[in-house]
Amino acid sequence: MCGRKGPRTSELHFLATHSCAGSATSPRRSLYIRATSHEPRATIAYAAIAARLRLVPLAFPRPRRPPGAPHHARLAIRAAGGSPALDLGTEDRAMATKRSILWFRKGLRVHDNPALVKACDGASAVQPVFVLDPWFVKPERVGANRLRFLLESLEDLDASLRSKGSSLLVLHGDPERVIPAALEAWRCDRLCYEFDTEPYAQKRDAAVNEAAEAIGAEVHVPVAHTLWDVEKLLSKCKNGEPPTAYSSFLKIAHSCGPVPPVAPHVPNVPAMEDHTHGDLVKMLGDVVTGSGVPTLEQLGYPALPIDEGFPARGGETEGLLRLRKMLDRTEYIAEFKKPATNPTDLWAPVLGKGAGGTKPATPFDAAKAKKGNPKEVDAEAFMAPATTALSPYLKFGCVSPRTFWHELRVVLDQTLKGKHSKPPESLEGQLLWREFYYLAAYGTPNYDRMAGNRICRQIPWTWDETRLAAWEEARTGFPWIDACMMQLRKEGWMHHLARHAVACFLTRGDLFVHWEAGAAVFDRELVDADHALNNGNWMWLSCSCFFYQYFRVYGPVSFGKKYDKDGTFIRKYLPALKDMPAKYIYEPWTAPIDVQKKAGCVVGVDYPAPIVDHAVASKECIEKLAAAYKAHKEGTAGNIVAVGKKRKAGE
């Protein structure tokens, strides 16, 4: 049976294929049913009828969703026995009460949440749910920093929902089993969740949709993780292939019209008053292995030291606060040029209202800059590095990109009246980079690997485990690179240019290790780890796609020195070097041995000797890249097999 919604009415066409009652050998029959209703939500009632008739799913290929169309349930069921009889009158009456499951995955917020709006629309009860998927909860897949940020975000979401008369139920288990089981057990006829473009999510969601549809539940999947619907962006791409140049992307984005407005505010969420969380969990039996927001330790992770972890709390409340404090800094926004921001800036207090681009290093400086008393400054200041550090909040959807966009636009258009930096370097330009990579990822098969990836140059990288481990464990012997990697390990975050430095060093700059290996480490360690942004930027930095000037290499000594002559950043993250004189801090191996001894840091004993001679290594890398580019141009690159053995997840 397949259902198709007519353009203006809730007309459905069903094709039910079934055998006659009681006879396994009788010929299969097809029954065509056309059902119409003036009630716009009739689709769900018809689906419910199908479920009651014990119709079971039929596999058939899923058509691609037309651009801009909502993600509705598609029905595909066949008769399991008995003669179907429709009693639409009864079902039409049943439509009046909706029971929704609102499934949170990313989009961990109550503002600008179209799935929440839809779940509440005409509903008698809505149960917000988050399913802690064991696939993710593994230290080798998701680092402790990211997981802690997620758990904090879930607690915050629960508090926000409670203020609306509802609450978040966190279930532990496989979402492909948990969500359909919950729909059935809790007698819910509507499932709402935010569209997710990641391959893992796409596969999971297709399976959940299919199961939900078989049960007869209506499924709504609005778009709110990106500025535009990526399907719509993709439909505007020549041959359905996303551009690899930002300027071409901007043309496509502009052709899609303005960024859609944010979803309306939802003041109250009707609770499932007939059941407690305990009841609901019990009804799911052994499909769930636990419930509630656990601690890191309960999930088998070691506790994070008090001074480690992402320096700000996870969740929508903190994310919106930080967004709005940042938006208060109108001068900062006017002057924001990403390449001019300082990757060595430590998190320090910054001023609120109107503050400019130069960040005071300490609360004292902040007070002086404000020419006021420090108490007043304390109230307005907040801790931040050189850029917004909103990436983890965007990654988990604690802050909506459209809220960010529209509130930023008010500052740019109304306060600054157009006098501000412009894309690609501006803040607005950063959100457009995000969108650029989302489109690239969505429209490129095998986006996260070199093999079979249409846009990725074939380069004979190695999987050199010794080099990879030294880079990953912050022991390359280049303090600037190691300090950045230590910041990643401890805080789960790095400034964009620090990411440039370490990614270039691992791949085309010095070590010639496969970008996929570096991306996997980032994917595990970053609080903001994002499939589209991470793999895209790794392709950029390794000159595999998007950027091709492979002869422009970041110096692992000179680059950091340009920003931080004294090496304050290095001293913070590499305490072994804290007493090394500034003259040698970027190249401690050049310090005379008595200087090393006096600083308490002998190279080769207290801190490693450099893993390569940069001058030699970078020259060799450039030669290899030149050869690979030549082969690409001549069409002889073929499918390159990288040298060595690829590390498996968790190794």
Ligand X SMILES: Cc1cc2nc3c(=O)[nH]c(=O)nc-3n(C[C@H](O)[C@H](O)[C@H](O)COP(=O)(O)OP(=O)(O)OC[C@H]3O[C@@H](n4cnc5c(N)ncnc54)[C@H](O)[C@@H]3O)c2cc1C
Percentages helix, strand, coil for the chain (3-state, rounded to 5) are 45, 10, 45
Q: Least distance to ligand X from the beta carbon of 345, Å?
A: 11
From residue 311, alpha-carbon distances to 149, 279, 525 in Å are 10, 37, 15
Closest to 372 (Cα-Cα) out of 347, 352, 345: 352
Shortest distance, position 268 Cβ to ligand X, whole Å: 31
> Residue for token digits 């039929």?
58
Q: Give 498 or 576: the residue with its C-beta nearer to ligand X.
A: 498
User: Which residue lies nearer to ligand X by CB, 186 or 404?
Assistant: 404
Question: Which residue's CB is nearer to ligand X, number 485 or number 541?
Answer: 541
- 518 and 503 Cβ atoms separated by less than 8 Å: yes
Closest to ligand X by CB, 99 or 499: 499
Smallest gap, in angstroms, from Cβ of residue 367 to ligand X? 25
Residues that bind ligand X (CB under 6 A): 338, 387-391, 394-395, 430-431, 433-434, 437, 495-496, 499-500, 503, 522, 526, 528-530, 533-534, 537-538, 541
The tokens 């590095």 sit on which residue? 385
Q: To which residue do tokens 């070199």 refer? A: 450
Q: Least distance to ligand X from the beta carbon of 582, Å?
A: 27
- Measured from the CB atom, the residue of 43 and 537 that comes closer to ligand X is 537
> To the nearest whole angstrom, how small is the minimum distance from the Cβ of residue 581 to ligand X?
31
Are 431 and 249 a contacting pair, CB within 8 Å?
Answer: no
Smallest gap from residue 432 Cβ to ligand X (A): 8
Considering the complex, what minimum distance in angstroms separates the CB of residue 175 from ligand X? 22
170 alpha carbon, distance to own chain's centre: 20
Helix, strand, or coil (residue 115): helix
Nearer to ligand X, 189 or 530 (CB): 530
Least distance (Å) between residue 402 CB and ligand X: 13
Q: Which residues of 478-497 are buried (b: 16+ CB within 10 A; e: fewer)?
A: bbbbbbbbbbbbbbbbbbbb
Residue 377 gets the label, from left (phi > 0), alpha (psi -120 to 50) or beta, of: alpha
Q: 456 or 526, CB closer to ligand X? A: 526
Q: Which is nearer to ligand X, 505 or 607 (CB)?
A: 505
DSSP strand E in 9-113: where? 12-18, 29-35, 56-57, 77-78, 98-104
The CB-of-502 to ligand X minimum distance in angstroms stands at 8
Closer CB to ligand X, residue 129 or residue 504? 504
Tell me, what amino acid is at 158?
Answer: D
- Quick one: 223 or 390, whose CB is closer to ligand X? 390
At closest approach, how far in Å is the CB of 512 from ligand X? 16
Q: How far is the CB of 105 from ligand X (least distance, A)?
A: 17
- Specify the pairing of strand 169-172 against strand 290-291: antiparallel
CA distance 275 to 631: 65
| Euclidean distance between the first and the last CA atom of the chain, given in angstroms as a whole number | 47
Q: What's the burial of 414, exposed, middle or buried (CB within 10 Å: 0-12/13-18/19+)?
A: exposed
Q: Which is nearer to ligand X, 340 or 626 (CB)?
A: 340
Residue identified by tokens 């459209």 is 402
Least Å distance, CB 541 to ligand X, is 5
SS3 (DSSP) at 370: helix
Report the C-alpha gap between 347 and 249 in whole angstroms: 33
Q: How far is the CB of 496 from ligand X (least distance, A)?
A: 3
Beta carbon nearer to ligand X, 301 or 336 = 336
Long-range own/partner contacts, residues 112-115 (CB < 8 A, 24 or more apart): 112/224, 112/262, 112/263, 112/400, 112/402, 112/403, 113/194, 113/224, 113/263, 113/266, 113/400, 114/194, 114/222, 114/223, 114/224, 114/263, 115/192, 115/193, 115/194, 115/220, 115/221, 115/222, 115/224
Q: Which is nearer to ligand X, 281 or 541 (CB)?
A: 541
Distance CA 155, CA 284 (A): 22
User: Which lies closer to ligand X via its Cβ, residue 14 or residue 437?
Assistant: 437
Asked whether the beta carbons of 503 and 542 are under 8 A apart, the reply is yes
**Strand blocks (E) in 8-91:** 12-18, 29-35, 56-57, 77-78
Q: Which two tokens stand for residue 66?
A: 């037309």
| Distance in angstroms (rounded) separating the CA atoms of residues 579 and 126 | 59
**What six digits make up the tokens of 204?**
């999971």
User: Shortest approach of ligand X to residue 425 CB, angstroms?
Assistant: 10
CB 452 to ligand X: min, Å: 21
Q: Which amino acid is at 434?
A: R
- SS3 label, residue 100: strand
Q: Residue 263 or residue 327: which is nearer to ligand X going by CB?
A: 327
Nearer residue to ligand X within complex by CB, 1 or 312: 312
What is the Cα–Cα distance from 215 to 53, expressed in whole angstroms?
10
Residue 542 C-beta: closest distance to ligand X, Å: 9
